[in-house]
Structure 1
Amino acid sequence: MKPLLNDRGKPYTEVMEYDGYLFPGKLGRKGKTKVSEILADLNELSFEDDEVCIVSYPKSGTHWTYEICHMVKTGSSDFIDTLVPIFDYSSMEELKEVQATSRVYTSHLYPRHLPKQFMEKRCKIILVYRNPKDVAVSYFKYSKKLRLHDMEDMGFSEFLRHYISGNVWCGTWVKWMKEWKTFKEETPDYPLLEIAYEDMKKNPKESVQRISDFISVNSPPQFTDEIVEKCKFKVMAAHKHSNLPQNMEYLTAFENGHIFYRKGEVGDWKNHFTVAENEAFDKDMETILPKLGLNITYEL
């Protein structure tokens, strides 16, 4: 177990460092607390080629995309009122239940850590990414509410430094994106859809249609429209805040709403970054983004 230290030299959370990735410190399944054991469990699962996983760096639109994909896959516009199934944390029983229902998962893992049979069966992957400035703000606000973080005295500027240096769960946004972009380059024929959070905000109907086409579901136009309406952030968030998952108390003591749904805006970073922080961030990204081949949108 490795403590992540704040600027005062005190631990603010813990991680397990394994194979270049920073796993949350309290990761575990029925007494198995070693990352190698947890990943081995995932490799015991079997899959069919119609199953789908939404992969993303934390706070990049994972839950929003999951709701869309779940609706498309099941043919129902009902929201789920549980925490989304995630390879990283969900129990084996929960993951097996998904196989019998929606067959849609989520993950923040690197490609090499996903279940072996999932990859061998060439199950479909939807890679969702978001501009790294809004990710930083959303990650900060989310982390402040987690039981596993002691961030009462930490402001955004300090968190931003940790985020940029990789002193957070999952490491840096840049490294995470590099891992997935490298995978895409090295396996160009793997069925992977890359979609930007900001594009989903700007063109929701087109985005729902792209997801439907990718997972080979021919949704009627009226159903696509229904999904678009249901998954408008304000509509979705209102439902989520009124229907909190029973097991969310494991993650947070926050009782005034669903911790995975905050503003859902593009450009909220402008309310948190100082001019100097923004200029330094842009400078760092000048050479990185072209290499990643990403068209990043910071405001709409």
Structure 2
Amino acid sequence: MAGVEKSLQDPNHGELPDLRNSKGHGFHCYKHDGVYFFVLPPQMLKGAHPADRIKSVKKAQLKDDDIIICAYPKCGTHWLWEVIEMLISGTLQHQKDVKETRMFEFIGKDGMEALPPRRVFNTHLPLRMLPKQVVEKKIKCIQIMRNPKDACVSFFNHCKNIPKPLGYEGDFAEFAEAFLTGKIPFGSYSTYLQTWKDEVAAAPELPTLDMYYEDMKMDPATSVKKVARFLGLASSDKFCEDVADACSFTKMKKVDQEMKSGLPMKMWEDGSGGTFYRKGEIGDWKNWFTVAQSERFDQLWNKKMKDSGFEFTYTPV
């Protein structure tokens, strides 16, 4: 029957959605509240169901000065996290940990509550799955967005370098189709954005700031100052400019390769050269999409996002 989701049997977790395409390529995911999520390694689950950690997030206790970075994968979360940590600390010191050590989906309620203040969290979850106290305590949330074609390319390169069973074995054309149809961890990017907009509109007193990856790339100092103002920090223009320089893509990639630690699982295939920072360019999608693929992407994306209000930059200005 059309529209019926196929399933497969997992020996450890029972029935899971079958996200494989006709070539047998896809993701090993479970589904919770309409969204697909990676099935984490057994050493992280410790016998629990994969969804238990996501469900626990809703009950987590927050502090009034917590900050949450919200974003679809590969839209600049790690970059923005480093910027905010520097602004809060008043130093140009890079974080030794990776942002997953502050990520709701990875650490769950217990991990969140164990962290000392002041805490800068990050997540790919929609607002409805975040702690109830986000809205109750009016926690400051920053949404960072990126043009969908570059996000797609970055997500593909990220997933192809992850070890099995989390990694992706298909080619870019297959991945782009999964990205458009939402048969991918965290689901459709267009659905994520529209859901975020609708759920924030239903909580009008929640303090939120929308940022664009491309703006941070083209005018980093102005973007850093914008974040500092939103957070109510008395950061000087000079310090904001220094933060922007310290968090340039080249420097961040070097830091990622030389000093990052703290991942709770093996992230990259041996010999893949995997990194959270690949190119960081605006318009790299042109090196990946054929003309036909680009036109199909535009057609489907624009149909879904018509009148959404989101405006993306696809080439450097």
Q: Which structure 2 residues correspond to residues 1-300 of structure 1 after superposition, within 5 A? A: 1-8=16-23, 10=24, 12-26=26-40, 29-35=45-51, 37-84=52-99, 85-90=102-107, 92=109, 94-98=111-115, 100-147=116-163, 148-152=165-169, 154-247=170-263, 250-254=266-270, 257=273, 259-300=275-316
Query: What's the CA shift string for 1:227-270, capped at 9, x where partnerless?
Result: 01101101111121122425365222345655211111110000
Contact 1:39 1:115 (8 Å CA) reproduced: no
Residue identity in the other structure for 1:179: T
Contact 1:7 1:158 (8 Å CA) reproduced: no
Contact 1:22 1:169 (8 Å CA) reproduced: yes
Q: CA RMSD in A?
A: 2.0
State the 1:50 CA deviation.
Answer: 1.4
CA 261–216 in structure 1, closer or farther in 2 if over 3 Å, else same: same
CA 150–38 in structure 1, closer or farther in 2 if over 3 Å, else same: closer
Contact 2:70 2:143 (8 Å CA) reproduced: yes
Provide the rounded CA distance (Å) in 2 between the counterparts of 1:42 and 1:248.
18
CA 39–140 in structure 1, closer or farther in 2 if over 3 Å, else same: closer
Unaligned runs of 5+ in 1: none
The 3-state SS of whatever aligns with 1:187 is coil
Unaligned runs of 5+ in 2: 1-15
The 3-state SS of whatever aligns with 1:128 is strand
TM-score (norm 2): 0.87
State the 1:93 CA deviation.
Answer: 5.1
Query: What's the CA shift string for 1:102-123, capped at 9, x where partnerless?
Result: 4100000011100112332110
Provide the rounded CA distance (Å) in 2 between the counterparts of 1:238 and 1:196.
23
> What is the aligned-residue identity percentage?
30
State the 1:40 CA deviation.
Answer: 4.0
Query: What's the CA shift string for 1:67-120, capped at 9, x where partnerless?
Result: 11111122222111212110011255542343x144100000011100112332
Provide the rounded CA distance (Å) in 1 between the counterparts of 2:46 and 2:167.
25
Residue identity in the other structure for 2:307: K
State the 1:184 CA deviation.
Answer: 2.6
State the 1:2 CA deviation.
Answer: 2.5
- How many residues were matched structurally? 296
Contact 2:53 2:108 (8 Å CA) reproduced: no
